[in-house]
Amino acid sequence: MKITTDSGIEINELYTAKNNILRENSLPGEFPFTRGVQASMYRGKLWTMRQYAGFSTAEESNKRYHYLLSQGVSGLSVAFDLPTQIGYDSDHELADGEVGKVGVAIDSIEDMERLFEGINLEEVSTSMTINATGFILLAFYVALAKKQGADLKKISGTIQNDILKEYAARGTYIYPPKPSMRIITDIFQWCSTNVPKWNTISISGYHIREAGSTAVQEIAFTLSNGKAYVKAALEKGLDINVFGKRLSFFFNAHNNLFEEVAKFRAARRMWAKIMKDLGTTDEKAMMLRFHTQTGGSTLTAQQPLNNICRVTIQTLAAVMGGTQSLHTNGYDEALSLPTEEAAKIALRTQQIVAYESGAPDTVDPLAGSYFVESLTDEVEKAAWQLIEKIDILGGSVSAIEQGFMQDEIAASAYQYQKDIESGAKTSVGVNKFVTAESYKTPVFKIDESIQKMQVDKLTILKQKRDNAAVKVCLQNIAASAKGTDNLMPLVVTAVEHFCTLGEIADVLRREYGEYS
């Protein structure tokens, strides 16, 4: 009987030393970092436990953040609503019905202030899942830190800022690829001097996987996108040994425990080699540091409590694969945004793995396993084959413009769904071990009045601010967009003068156009 991983890699019935020819015998913290980016891994410091949260208004999300911090979260992870993600203020006609629904609505520096009220930005690490408007949200955050009197050299966190995967898999892009890449490299350049502890990009395989890719496609497409960002930064004249240290990655963790561990190990080894080939000489700039989120697309609306078991397996995969930070999904997320109870259970899952399972007690605990070492090699080999195809097409930007990545992901997603519907792949509670549902899981709902509240705040803001100063700020951004000067200082100044997210995004819409 033939058994394969989710990526189609055939699994032998038995693995022995014959299957396991070690190609390198590196230690953790040493090139090519197969075994981890830190010598002591979790014995030195546990991974950062983040909980991705954001909904409704800034005030409501702020309450959830204070709750999570009180429960032992060590880093915040902000979810933004769709209008914020695609550069529309809450009073825009296209924002109607979406304000505060899948994340928090942030229109201005005032909203950012409400979002982090009572939270010292020097003391928390903040991850923001934002891409097309990432430069504006970063400006809000920096402006708020300055207002708090924080030392910008000490504030830490990450903006996702990965536009290529938006074209390939997720869809929340605004501008065409080339001007989008210009904005991203402006962020790299500005942050390296002004906020040196900030991770300027989180190159994301997560959404590629959520769109239906396999594990192999996830790392191949993600690392290829990473290569494109590095090349764009080099063309701008940036030092790879400096900006390379601030690159981070964001991966998914699914249910096939051993394939996921092999994926993380292979990705580290591959990225180290990619960076070395691109000219990196500082080993710290060759390290693949990554955040993991458990697989949203693996959660089922049927028998939702089963999702707690799935998230536990995925948590173990991330930890045994050597993640630097982790978000665990709520069991109810196939039905709604997570309730407070579901978010607490998700966090407790991480804490139980951290403090009770023994998984973090030694570095790379599955190293030397005939199966895992062989599977790491197989995943790497298959991923290189895909990267070579992308390189032949001219790299990630060109491959995306030609639809290659999109077609590969769509074919994989289609095959997966066919396998579920035919029963070739088992999903417990969905196509096997099905029972009549005898209880209703409580769901989290966003009040429709949120939109009016947010629009009213915007109206008041626009009445009380210095609109002549706003006009000058927006004109300066437009002039800079036509040239080559870095956009970030002007955007920070604009948000300090109460320019809104939508106004700044619209200036660049007029200059760059919209991608379709």
Spatial contact of 41 and 322, defined as CB atoms under 8 Å apart: yes
Q: Confirm whether pTM is higher than 0.85.
A: yes
Q: Is 19 buried (19+), middle (13-18) or exposed (0-12) by CB count in 10 A?
A: middle
Judged against a pLDDT cut of 80, whether residue 37 lies above it is answered with yes
| Rounded distance between C-alpha atoms, residue 181 and residue 3, angstroms | 41
With beta carbons less than 8 A apart as the criterion, state whether 326 and 48 touch: yes
Confidence of residue 441 (pLDDT cuts 50, 70, 90): confident
Q: Can you tell me the distance from the alpha carbon of 356 to that of 351, in angstroms, rounded to the nearest whole number? A: 8
3-state helix, strand, coil in the chain (%, to 5): 50, 10, 40
Alpha-carbon Rg for the chain in angstroms? 22
CA distance 351 to 49: 8
What's residue 72's pLDDT? 84
pLDDT of the residue at 439: 63
Is 496 a residue whose pLDDT tops 90? yes
| Tokens linked to 280 | 């990196």
Residues 364-372 have a mean pLDDT of: 94
Rounded to the nearest 10 degrees, the angle between the axes of helix 404-422 and helix 370-392 is 140
3-state secondary structure of 51: strand
The two counts, helices (H) then strands (E), for the chain are 19, 11
| Per-residue confidence (pLDDT) for residue 33, from 0 to 100 | 97
3-state secondary structure of 409: helix
Q: Is 348 exposed, middle or buried (0-12, 13-18, 19+ CB in 10 A)?
A: middle
Q: Number of C-alpha atoms within 13 angstroms, CB side, residue 119?
A: 28
Q: At residue 20, does pLDDT exceed 70?
A: yes
Q: pLDDT per residue over 175-196, tens digit each?
A: 999 999 999 999 999 999 999 9
Minimal CA–CA distance to 94: which of 104, 102, 84? 84
pLDDT given at position 21 = 65
185-210 mean pLDDT: 94
Residue type, 321: G
Instruction: Please check the confidence at residue 231 and state whether its pLDDT lies above 70.
Output: yes
Q: What is the band of 337 on the pLDDT scale with cuts at 50, 70, 90?
A: confident
Report residue 336's pLDDT band, with 50, 70 and 90 as the boundaries.
confident
Q: What is the pLDDT of residue 189?
A: 93
**Tokens representing 320?**
């045994």
DSSP letter (8 states) at residue 199: E
pLDDT tens-digit readout, 149-158 = 999 999 999 9
Contact assessment for residue 372 and residue 20, using Cβ atoms and an 8 Å cutoff: no
DSSP per residue over 240-309, as a string? HHHHGGGEEEEEEE-S-HHHHHHHHHHHHHHHHHHHHHTT---GGGG---EEEEE-GGG--SSSTTHHHH
Q: State percent of the chain over pLDDT 90.
A: 85
Q: Are 69 and 324 in contact (CB under 8 A)?
A: no
**Predicted pLDDT at 329:** 96
pLDDT for 360 beyond 70: yes
Q: Is the pLDDT of residue 379 over 90?
A: yes
Res. 450: pLDDT tops 90 = no
**Residues 134/174, Cβ–Cβ less than 8 Å:** no
For residue 57, the model assigns a pLDDT of: 84
Report the distance separating Cα 386 and Cα 60, nearest Å: 44
- pLDDT of 23 reads 64
Span 191-220, average pLDDT: 95
pLDDT at 413 > cutoff 80: yes
The percent of residues in the chain predicted with pLDDT above 70, rounded, is 98
pLDDT digits over 235-290, tens only? 989 999 999 998 999 999 999 999 999 999 999 999 999 999 999 999 999 999 99
Q: How many CB atoms lie within 10 A of CB 100?
A: 29
Per-residue model confidence as pLDDT tens digits over 288-332: 999 999 999 999 999 999 999 999 999 999 999 999 999 999 999
Per-residue pLDDT at 449: 84
Q: Are 450 and 56 in contact (CB under 8 A)?
A: yes
Report how far residue 500's alpha carbon sits from residue 496's, in angstroms, rounded to the nearest whole number.
10
Mean pLDDT of all residues in the chain? 94
